[in-house]
């Protein structure tokens, strides 16, 4: 069958909402797009452990400490499912890690911002996980089967994290003036980077149309960003805090909230490596990997010895 007709058949399967599975024929560009997107997503989960991990030893109560540990552990788990999903496309976890460590692969640039106070842990749960959920729920219907299935599990846990984050902020907002100020300050710093998580505006996002056609994406960046703003504003009102955007207001005619322009210069600078913590985040990942090398080598050597023992005892028998 010619490539052309293979592509036609592939597209018609996608159009019919059939799942594409690892052994099915797929266009190279589809495979590459998925590998890039899924591995970036996996790396984001792993790098995302760092800013939150910054507060494990300082969590304010045992209940919060346990919830934070469990949350970060969930993120490591998401990284695992996603690396596994990407592996079904013919790329190994080692290769993906190598791309992360050498700076070839990206991760969500939100994790290049610092967590300065405890309220940041709440704000990450509420805003960052909230934005992630908006992005990720439609991915549960992505055309590539292993990705879609991984995302179903990820989304269940993410929505739990978002509620936890919101609960941290709600508790603080019902507390002292200092606690409320801490929440307001954290939201001031995390609001705009959270809006940037949806990626560039649609007219500046050249790959989006193809991803929509392949049903990897279901909504455009701007559509998702709008949904997020619409869902989040009422939640901010319950907290009794101000979102840091003087242009934010409900537009009756559109039935949506209008919001101010995003500072894309900041976004592209952070993506390019110039954010507040890019170097620290990558250095922490590289250090963990390098310092773990002897452990991985020893584990392999031990497993090899055990295998040989089994073989030699089998040959004696």
Partner 1 sequence: MQKEIKDFILMLADNPMILGQRLGEWCGHGPILEQDIALTNIALDIIGEARNYYAYLAEIEGKKEDDYPMLRKERAFRNVLLVETPNGNWGDTMMRQFMFDCWHYFHLEAMTKSNDERLASIAKKSIKEASYHLSFSSEWVIRLGDGTPDSHEKMQDAVEHLLPYFEEFFIAADFEVYSQQEGISPDLHVVKNKAMAKFRNVLDEATLAHPQNVFAKKGGKSGIHTEHLGFIISELQYLQRAYPGVTW
Binding site for partner 1 (CB under 8 A): 46, 49-50, 53, 56-66, 69-70, 72-73, 76-77, 79-80, 83, 118, 168, 171-172, 174-176, 178-179, 284, 287-289, 291-299, 301-302, 305
Q: Which is nearer to partner 1, 74 or 245 (CB)?
A: 74
Computed on alpha carbons and rounded to an integer, the radius of gyration of the chain in Å comes to 22
d(CA 275, CA 266) in angstroms, rounded, equals 8
Q: Which is nearer to partner 1, 170 or 216 (CB)?
A: 170
Q: Which is nearer to partner 1, 255 or 294 (CB)?
A: 294
Q: Which is nearer to partner 1, 203 or 291 (CB)?
A: 291
Q: Which is nearer to partner 1, 53 or 145 (CB)?
A: 53
Structural contact between residues 194 and 125, judged by C-beta atoms closer than 8 angstroms: no
Structural contact between residues 317 and 83, judged by C-beta atoms closer than 8 angstroms: no
Tokens encoding 3: 């490539």
d(CA 288, CA 286) in angstroms, rounded, equals 6
d(CA 190, CA 117) in angstroms, rounded, equals 12
Q: Which is nearer to partner 1, 32 or 287 (CB)?
A: 287
Q: Which is nearer to partner 1, 173 or 195 (CB)?
A: 173
Q: Which is nearer to partner 1, 79 or 138 (CB)?
A: 79
Q: How far is CA 160 from CA 94, 129, 148, 153, 186, in A?
A: 30, 9, 19, 11, 20
What is the phi/psi pair of residue 142, to 5°?
Answer: -60, 150
d(CA 204, CA 250) in angstroms, rounded, equals 25
51 Cβ contact partners less than 8 Å away, ≥ 6 residues apart: 111, 113, 114, 115, 120, 124, 277, 281
Min dist. Cβ of residue 234 to partner 1 (A):
24
Tokens encoding 258: 């209008």
Q: How far is CA 71 from CA 46, 146, 163, 179, in A?
A: 12, 23, 11, 22
* Dihedral over Cα of 295, 280, 136, 201: its sign: negative
């Amino acid at each position: 069958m010619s490539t052309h007709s293979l592509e036609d058949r592939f597209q018609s399967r996608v159009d019919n909402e059939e799942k594409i599975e690892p052994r099915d024929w797929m266009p190279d560009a589809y495979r590459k797009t998925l590998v890039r997107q899924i591995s970036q997503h996996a790396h984001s989960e792993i790098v995302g452990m760092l800013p939150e991990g910054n507060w494990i030893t300082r969590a304010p109560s045992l209940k919060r400490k346990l919830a934070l540990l469990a949350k970060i552990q969930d993120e490591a788990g998401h990284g695992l499912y996603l690396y596994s999903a990407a592996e079904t496309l013919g790329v190994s976890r080692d290769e993906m890690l190598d791309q992360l460590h050498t700076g070839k692969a990206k991760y969500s640039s939100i994790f290049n911002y610092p967590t300065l106070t405890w309220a940041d842990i709440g704000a990450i749960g509420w805003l960052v996980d909230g934005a992630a959920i908006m992005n990720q729920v439609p991915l549960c219907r992505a055309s590539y089967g292993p990705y879609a299935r991984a995302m179903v599990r990820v989304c269940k846990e993410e929505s739990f994290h978002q509620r936890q984050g919101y609960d941290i902020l709600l508790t603080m907002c019902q507390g002292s003036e200092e606690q409320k100020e801490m929440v307001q300050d954290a939201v001031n710093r995390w609001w705009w980077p959270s809006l940037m998580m949806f990626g560039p505006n649609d007219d500046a996002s050249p790959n989006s149309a193809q991803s929509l056609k392949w049903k990897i994406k279901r909504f455009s960046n701007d559509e998702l960003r709008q949904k997020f703003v619409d869902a989040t504003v009422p939640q901010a009102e319950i907290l009794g805090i101000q979102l840091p955007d003087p242009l934010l207001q409900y537009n009756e005619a559109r039935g949506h909230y209008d919001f101010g322009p995003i500072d894309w210069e900041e976004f592209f600078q952070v993506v390019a490596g110039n954010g507040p913590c890019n170097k620290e985040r990558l250095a922490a990942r590289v250090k963990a990997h390098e310092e773990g090398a002897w452990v991985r080598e020893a584990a392999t050597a031990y497993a090899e010895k055990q295998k040989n023992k089994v073989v030699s005892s089998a040959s004696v028998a």
